[in-house]
Amino acid sequence: MSRSLAREDAFKLIFEMEITNVTADEAINYLFDTVNNSNEMWAQEFVSASNKKYIENVVHGVDEKANELSAIIEPTLKDWTIKRISKVSLTILKLAAYEIYFIDDIPAKVSASEAVMLAKKYAGKEDSSFVNGVIGTIIENFESAKEN
């Protein structure tokens, strides 16, 4: 299965955690308990070992670094606050920011492209443009920080 499908599943778990306050372990366990039953909620019908590792890493990472991710996102918002962003878009932004800042083997442009695709699929009509702009600024800030 592709990394895109694993990313989509990770997005769903992070979103679930955001709206229901379940723990990362509870969300992950639910995925792995139900995915093999062809549950329509999940992008994958089977989770490979590498995708399982990615999902666990990202879901736990976003959970553990939630405040840091908010601090990365907040300054990129022009005339917005983080509380005004839809939960779907905020979840997508946190996932992408986590990949950009904390996972070395995923190119930032891939994270940005995948974030826009998730926004097109799960968010409102204009959210994909918003997500694209915010992620672009996050990448600029990240690259600028790396140079210094």
Residue for token pair 């549950």: 39
Tokens of 64: 């553990």
Q: How far apart are CA 31 and CA 17, in angstroms?
A: 12
Per residue in 60-69, pLDDT (tens digit) is 999 999 999 9
3-class SS string, 38-73 = CCCCCCCCCCCHHHHHHHHHHHHHHHHCHHHHHHHH
Per residue in 8-52, pLDDT (tens digit) is 989 999 999 999 989 999 988 888 777 666 555 655 666 777 888
Query: How crowded is residue 34: how many other Cβ atoms within 10 Å of its Cβ?
Result: 12
Which pTM was predicted?
A: 0.91
